[in-house]
Amino acid sequence: MHVPDGFLDAPTSVATGVIAAAGVGVALRRARAELDDRTAPMAGLVAAFVFAGQMINFPVGAGTSGHLLGGALAAVLVGPWTGMLCISVVLLVQGLFMADGGLTALGTNITLMGIVGVVVGYAVFRLVLVVLPRKLGSVPVAAAVGALVSVPAAATAFTLLFAIGGTADVATGKVLAAMVGWHLVIGVGEAIVTGLVISAVVASRPDLVHGARGLATRTPLVTSELAS
Amino acid sequence: MGAGHGHRLHFHGHSPVHRAPAHLKVLALLAFVLLVVATPRDWYPVFALHLAVLLGVVALARVPLGYLLPRMVVEVPFLLFAALIPFVAEGPRVGVPMPGGWELSLSEHGLVAAWGLAVKGTLGVLASLTLAATTEPNEVLRGLQRLRFPDLLVQIMSFMVRYLDVVTADLGRMVTAMRSRGVDPRSPRHWPALARTLGALFVRSYERGERVHLAMLSRGYDGKLPETVR
């Protein structure tokens, strides 16, 4: 899933680098407003969690496997800005420390998965949540739909970048059909896993799920007559 | 938690490349890959020069190629993608005679594009691996700090790097426990169990973050990490 060096030409790589830097800059400021001085340890640990979650592969057919991208998952769990920050940090660490995804393509990868994936995933999540009944059980469903849409959306954004700065003479329509078709399949896996994970967290710690804020009902304190 | 302070890609050594300041290495790597990406793909001899420079650095670092090459598998999916391009690209076609008397029709532009993708991607991965093999993660972080990377971003990255092995080991123990109870984590049939595991991992990681934050506060954390002397 990580775009390597040389996939897009140098000007496009630099341009996506600028977009990514701006996006991460905004995310940093907004996440700090959300988390205050907890930002560094909390975002760091959530990023480590996303990385660990990405290590789990699921088969997507034809002998290949996909893995969780985690954009929608992170956005619903910790909020869109912290989520964007966490995915970007995961990509930065993978690119700088693990040679996974090219260094010149880092901006492209952050733009696609960190910004487009998270923003689309979270926007769709919010939209679906408006339509569904206002209860805790709607959160995993909305998160799954968000995840389902976010993966082909990132693939579409990639196709757009490829049309602008691609280094191969392939008709854009063909790339679009192949990318979106393939990522729709991955998106289904992403949606199922995201929905199940969110529903697991909602069942045990609804207070931790950013997307469920305002939906969790406090269990009323029941006092007995015995006290008197 | 004593284990896991090393790094999977780091190759211990004392060569000039290992000792070079990390911020210079990061800058050199960035300049090198930008140069590779900006090189027109039909300047074939120049790529040989790029490769020679890179192999020179690897030799200077005394990191065996046998250590780097198996770690280049991360780019295999994209090599497969590159291999598909000659079949679907536009432009004049060229016939390649195949055994059995038929011709394989490939796009000329596609062949050149596939070559470009493969060579640039491979050079990029090898160069990034060389940085990872010769530089401890903490050194890279300090280098980024010296390059005026946003302080908060460096802090988040350092926490991720620090707790990566802790969190993945946590997941590893949970998966072992699942397997010992007959769960196959790859099978969609067991996704609900796997998802509950991931949910538990999130709660554990989040709570660990809260504990780390409180521990930091009690040691006087004020939003900035203290400069540590090596």
Q: Residue A74 — very low, low, confident or very high, per pLDDT cuts 50/70/90?
A: very high
pLDDT at A126 over 90: yes
Mean pLDDT, residues A72-78: 91
Residue with tokens 């408006």: A130
Q: Do A196 and B223 touch (CB under 8 A)?
A: no
Place A144 in a pLDDT band, splitting at 50, 70 and 90. Answer: very high
Domain A10-212 of CATH type 1.10.645.10: no
Q: Which residues of A194-224 are buried (b: 16+ CB within 10 A; e: fewer)?
A: bbbbbbbbbeebeebbbbbeebbeeeeeeee
Can you tell me which residue has the tokens 């680098």? Answer: A17
Distance CA B137, CA B118 (A): 28
- Report CB contact under 8 Å: B201, A49: yes
What is the predicted pLDDT for the residue at B6? 44
> Is B89's CB within 8 Å of A25's CB?
no
Q: How far is A158 from chain B (nearest CA, A)?
A: 14
CB contact under 8 A, A102 and B34: no
Supply the pLDDT for residue A223. Answer: 74
Flag whether pLDDT at A111 surpasses 90. Answer: yes
CA distances from A178 to A66, A67, B79, B81, B85 (A): 16, 18, 16, 11, 12
Of A48, A105, A170, the CB nearest to B205: A48
Average pLDDT over residues A144-152: 93
pLDDT band for position A103 (cuts 50, 70, 90): confident
Q: What is the pLDDT of residue A76?
A: 92
> What torsion do the CA atoms of A177, A180, A181, A187 make, to the nearest 10 degrees?
180
What are the CA-CA distances from residue B106 to residues A50, A216, B120 (Å)?
41, 59, 21
Q: List chain A residues with CB under 8 Å of B223.
A: 37
Main-chain dihedrals φ then ψ at residue A101, nearest 5 degrees:
90, 130
Q: Which runs of E-coded beta strand occur in chain A? A: 57-61, 64-67
- Is A130 a residue whose pLDDT tops 60? yes
> What pTM, to 2 d.p., does this model score?
0.87
Distance CA A59, CA B125 (A): 26
pLDDT in tens, A25-58: 999 988 888 877 788 888 889 999 998 888 876 6
Q: At residue B67, what is the residue type?
A: Y
Instruction: Report the distance separating Cα B191 and Cα B183, nearest Å.
Output: 9
Write down the domain spans for chain A: 10-212
Counted residue by residue, chain B has a size of 230
CB A200 within 8 A of CB A43: no
B34 → chain A, closest CA residue: A104
Q: What burial class does residue B10 get, using C-beta atoms within 10 Å of its C-beta: 0-12 exposed, 13-18 middle, 19+ buried? A: middle
Contacts of B119 in chain A (CB under 8 A): 6
Position A31 scores a pLDDT of 87
Asked if residue A43 lies in contact with residue A86, where contact means CB atoms within 8 angstroms, the answer is yes
Contact check, Cβ <8 Å, B205/A95: no
pLDDT per residue as tens, chain B (230 positions): 333 444 567 777 788 788 888 888 889 888 988 888 888 888 888 888 888 888 888 888 888 888 888 878 777 777 777 787 787 777 777 777 777 777 777 887 788 888 888 888 888 888 888 888 888 888 888 888 888 888 888 888 988 988 988 999 999 999 999 999 988 877 778 888 888 899 999 999 999 989 998 998 898 887 777 666 44
- Judge contact between A191 and A121, C-beta under 8 A: no
Q: Do B163 and A45 touch (CB under 8 A)?
A: yes
Nearest residue, CB atoms, A5 vs list B36, B114, B188:
B36
ipTM of the complex: 0.86
Q: How many CB atoms sit inside 10 A of residue B179's CB?
A: 11
Look at residues A19, A27, A17 and name the one whose alpha carbon lies nearest to residue A47. Answer: A27
Q: What's the N-to-C CA distance of chain A in angstroms?
A: 64
d(CA B144, CA B141): 5
Q: Give the pLDDT confidence of A163-202 residue by residue, as tens digits.
A: 887 777 777 788 788 888 888 888 888 898 899 999 999 9
SS3 assignment, position B104? strand
